[in-house]
């Protein structure tokens, strides 16, 4: 497969390694310094684009992929207020997009475990639930997209909690967002009562886990039309 890397930063470089090891070619490596458009993707015979850039440019990049008729895997986080509109455009233009707040297979298993635990714990009012996420100091968005996905999984089972919040409030679900060194990604959910606490957590050891999932997603989306998420990929490859 010919892959265009839109964004060749920390993630783009690890995705390149994983993709080449799996026998794919990197047709393009684009950074903020490059001037490119739909013809650039077409002229490099791009089969799939993998987009890991920054929230302010992601929408434009996705639309350029649609115009080039190139399926796009979107890893950038912090842009999800625009996701419904882009998904609609994707369907109207008969294009393909797969987005995920976290491509790690382990984190996607953690999403499922999180919901199972929330379904159990919501019956015990003495436990107050909160989410913690820790990432490297250069991360532009807070809370992380992964923490938001975890919070949404919990909120399904806690109707009294109106929404997630970055501060502590009885009616909301508190997400503590911390920025430390080169932290690759830590997420935990804590249920705390006066007498004890129960905690589940996920620790990423390197960026490779995200890259493996992103390449798997690129292999999955090639030749498809529609809007997909990581659970579609995992359901497909775990059959």
Ligand X SMILES: NC(=O)c1ccc[n+]([C@@H]2O[C@H](COP(=O)([O-])OP(=O)(O)OC[C@H]3O[C@@H](n4cnc5c(N)ncnc54)[C@H](OP(=O)(O)O)[C@@H]3O)[C@@H](O)[C@H]2O)c1
Nearer to ligand X, 100 or 147 (CB): 100
Residue 236 beta carbon to ligand X: minimum distance, rounded to whole angstroms: 18
Catalytic residue status for 205: no
Nearer to ligand X, 58 or 96 (CB): 58
Structure-token pair, residue 25: 């070619």
Catalytic residue status for 138: no
Q: Which residue is nearest to ligand X (CB)?
A: 9
Residues binding ligand X (CB under 6 A): 6-12, 30-33, 52-54, 57, 75-78, 100-103, 139, 210
**Which of 24, 135, 161, 187 is labelled catalytic?**
135
**Which of 13, 29, 38, 139 is labelled catalytic?**
139
Nearer to ligand X, 149 or 188 (CB): 149
Residue 100 beta carbon to ligand X: minimum distance, rounded to whole angstroms: 5
Residue 216 beta carbon to ligand X: minimum distance, rounded to whole angstroms: 12
Sign of the alpha-carbon dihedral angle for 19, 53, 99, 73: negative
Nearer to ligand X, 8 or 228 (CB): 8
Buried/exposed code over 43-58 (b: 16+ C-beta within 10 A; e: otherwise): ebebbbbbbbbbbeeb
Residue 106 beta carbon to ligand X: minimum distance, rounded to whole angstroms: 11
Which residues are part of the catalytic machinery?
A: 135, 139
């Amino acid at each position: 497969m010919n892959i265009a890397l839109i964004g060749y930063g920390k993630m783009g470089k690890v995705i390149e390694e994983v993709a080449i090891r799996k026998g794919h070619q990197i047709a393009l490596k684009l950074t903020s310094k490059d001037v490119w458009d739909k013809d650039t993707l077409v002229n490099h015979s791009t089969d799939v684009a993998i987009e890991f850039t920054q929230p302010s440019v992601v929408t434009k990049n996705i639309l350029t992929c649609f115009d080039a008729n190139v399926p796009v895997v979107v890893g950038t986080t912090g842009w999800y207020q625009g996701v419904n509109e882009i998904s609609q455009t994707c369907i109207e233009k008969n294009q393909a997009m797969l987005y995920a707040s976290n491509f790690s297979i382990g984190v996607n298993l953690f999403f499922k475990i999180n919901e199972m635990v929330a379904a159990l714990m919501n019956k015990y009012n003495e436990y107050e639930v909160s989410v913690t996420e820790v990432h490297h100091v250069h991360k532009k968005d807070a809370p992380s997209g992964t923490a938001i996905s975890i919070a949404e999984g919990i909120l399904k089972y806690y109707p009294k909690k109106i929404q997630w919040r970055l501060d502590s409030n009885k009616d909301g679900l508190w997400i503590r967002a911390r920025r430390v060194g080169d932290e690759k990604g830590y997420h935990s959910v804590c249920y705390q009562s006066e007498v004890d606490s129960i905690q589940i957590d996920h620790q990423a050891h390197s960026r490779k886990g995200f890259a493996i999932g992103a390449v798997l997603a690129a292999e999955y989306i090639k030749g498809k039309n529609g809007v997909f998420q990581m659970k579609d990929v995992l359901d497909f490859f775990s059959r």
